[in-house]
Structures are given as structure tokens and as C-alpha cells.
Amino acid sequence: MARERRGNASTITPPQALLQAGVAAAATGLVYGTLYERNNYHVRRVELPLLPPGTSPVSILHVSDLHMLPHQRAKIAFLTRLGRLDPDFVINTGDNLSSDKAVPTVARALSPLLAKPGAFVFGSNDYFAPIPKNPLSYLGLGKKRHSEIPLPWRDLRAAFTEHGWEDATHRKLSFSLNGARILVAGVDDPHMGADDYSSIAGPAGPGFDVRIGLTHSPEPRVLDAFDADGYDLALAGHTHGGQVCLPTGAIVTNCGIDRSRVKGVSAWGRNLTLHVSAGIGNSPYVPVRTFCRPEASLIVLTPQKSRGHRAPASPLPSSAREPLSVG
């Protein structure tokens, strides 16, 4: 009887097939996030009814986490086109730099916006250059490294203030925009322990139509303080929206807030509205975004229907949502 000859082909078991499919999907996502999504800029548009009845709307462009390198042409072009949105006010919540040579690039990219009234606070990557980090440290596995490589933050501050933007770090500032009285107060980056809320502590006061708190990282202790002092709105960045996300949402926030608040608008405490920008850039050592497009935010403050009544935040109507294409 002839003996059956067996070939050398191996059989792939179901667990092996699932593993291979998972590896392939991860590799595809990495390539997509590196080559496309991290440069797929867009504008988040929201409407917040925080102004008193009868007040004219005020548009605020919120930019954060540029992490600029001098050669990033697509990012520079996007930032420059943001000037076409013609906001009433610009707020920058820090982490502008990824290189000690990037200050002129940031100033050039933001030049149309620097012609507008604005305010800013800095983040750690305005003071210190990014360094490679163990990605598992963001999951609490291993110790995070902190950079001590200085960046020219004083030059960046001078570039901003010489064009008229106000440094809100540990200061209370008053602005008049479209007839509305706006209070803006900020702290230095709480993620690196640089915040000194005591320098601005105390009731925000009734003499303003809206009160805005600025912080680079949305740490709960700072948000709680803004809420307790009567601020209406807090603007922050830092989280990158989770940056490397799953279809179901962010994996980490890299700060003390929960993942449901990692980007966009949410409620905080008794009366505070929180807006967290997913940011425009990323560390040069992690040049990838998945399920989290880079963004700037156009926030339109509108009148309440009646004094003391705040409707939930909503997208702008279609007629106002696309005043022009900037992406």
C-alpha cells in the first residue's frame, strides 16, 4: 500500500490568525496615523450660550499644542489660514515649541492671528524641549522622564506680547469685545507643578459678562479653583485628545481628568464649562495620531435665552459652521 506523503504546509490556528490580523491592523493604523491623520487638520466649532441676554456674540479661536518644528509646512499653512476665520479673540494654551529654532516659525505661522486681540499661557514644551519617553509610562508602567533642555520661551513671549497678545500667566486681565466685558485669568503649567493659583485667587466678580480661566493642562485642582471662584469657562490643551486613540475613545489623558473630557466641551463642578483642545501638533518622538485629528477650535459665545439659563453646548448651525475652508 502506498504511504500517504504529507507536505510541509503548516496549519494556522484560529488564535494565530487573530494575532496576525491584529498585528496587521495595528501596522496599518500606525502607517495611517503617521502619514495622514496627524496632518489632517480641522477646526472644531462649538457654540456656548454664556453671555447675558442681548449681548452680541463673541468668537474665540482656541489654539494649543503646536509643538512646532521649523520644517512643518502643512502645519504652518493651516495655522496661517486660520486668520481667515476672523475671530474676535485668540487664546493660546501653550506647548508651542519642539525646537529651539522654532520661535520665528511660530510667529510667522500665527502672524494673521497676532493681529487680533489675544491672551496666552505656556506649557512645559515652551520651557523645555521634548525628549523620547517610554510610551508605557503614560499607562502608569515605569517612571516618566522629564526634560531639562531649555527652550527660548522668553523670545516666544516677546514675539507674542510685542504684537499685542497678553500673557495671562498668574494675572487677571480685562478685555472689551463686541461690547462684552471679558475677564481672562491664567496659571502656569500645573502638569509640571508651576501653577500658583493663589496669585489670582478670589471671586471672579460680577463686573464681567463672562469669566475665562486658562491653563495648559486641565488638572482638577485648577479647574476646581476656577469653578469655586465663579469662572464661566476654562480653556486648556495638553491632552492631544488622547492622540493615539481607539475607535471607542481615548486610552489616556496624560493628566488628572477622566477620558470622557479628553477633548471638546464638558461640564465641570457647579457652573464651569470646560473646553479641552485636542491640539494641533505632537511630540516629534511620537509622530502619530489615530482616531484623533489635530484641531483648532472656534468657540462662539452667544447670549443666554434668559439670565442665568445656560443651554447645553451645541455645534454651530450649518450656515455658520463652514464660513470658509481652512483645512
Give the whole-angstrom CA distance, residue 115 versus residue 166: 12
Say what the pTM is.
0.86
Q: Decide if 200 contacts 240 (C-beta within 8 A).
A: no
Quick: pLDDT tens for 152-197: 999 999 999 999 999 999 999 999 999 999 999 999 999 999 999 9
Quick: pLDDT tens for 207-218: 999 999 999 999
Low-confidence ranges of the chain (pLDDT < 50): 1-5, 19-32, 317-325, 327
Give the whole-angstrom CA distance, residue 322 versus residue 327: 11
Residue 15 has a pLDDT of: 60
Q: What is the 3-state secondary structure (H, E, C) of the chain?
A: CCCCCCCCCCCCCHHHHHHHHHHHHHHHHHHHHHHCHHHCCEEEEEEEEEECCCCCCEEEEEECCCCECCCCHHHHHHHHHHHHHCCCEEEECCCCECCCCCHHHHHHHCHHHHCCCEEECCCHHHHECCCCCCHHHHHCCCCCCCCCCECCHHHHHHHHHHCCCEECECCEEEEEECCEEEEEEECCCHHHCCCCHHHCCCCCCCCCCEEEEECCCCCHHHHHHHHHCCCCEEEECCCHHHCECECCECCCCCCCCCHHHCCEEEEECCCEEEEECCCCCCCCCCCCCECCCCEEEEEEEEECCCCCCCCCCECCCHHHHCCCCCC
Residue 146 has a pLDDT of: 77
Residue 145 has a pLDDT of: 74
Q: Decide if 194 contacts 221 (C-beta within 8 A).
A: no
Give the whole-angstrom CA distance, residue 149 versus residue 285: 15
Amino acid at 152: P
Q: Decide if 247 contacts 292 (C-beta within 8 A).
A: no
Q: Decide if 242 contacts 255 (C-beta within 8 A).
A: no
Quick: pLDDT tens for 103-112: 999 999 999 9
Amino acid at 217: S
Residue linked to cell 475607535: 247
- The grid coordinates listed for 248 are 471607542
Instruction: Count CA within 13 A, CB hemisphere, residue 57.
Output: 15
Q: Which residues contact 247 (CB under 8 A, 6 or more apart)?
A: 291
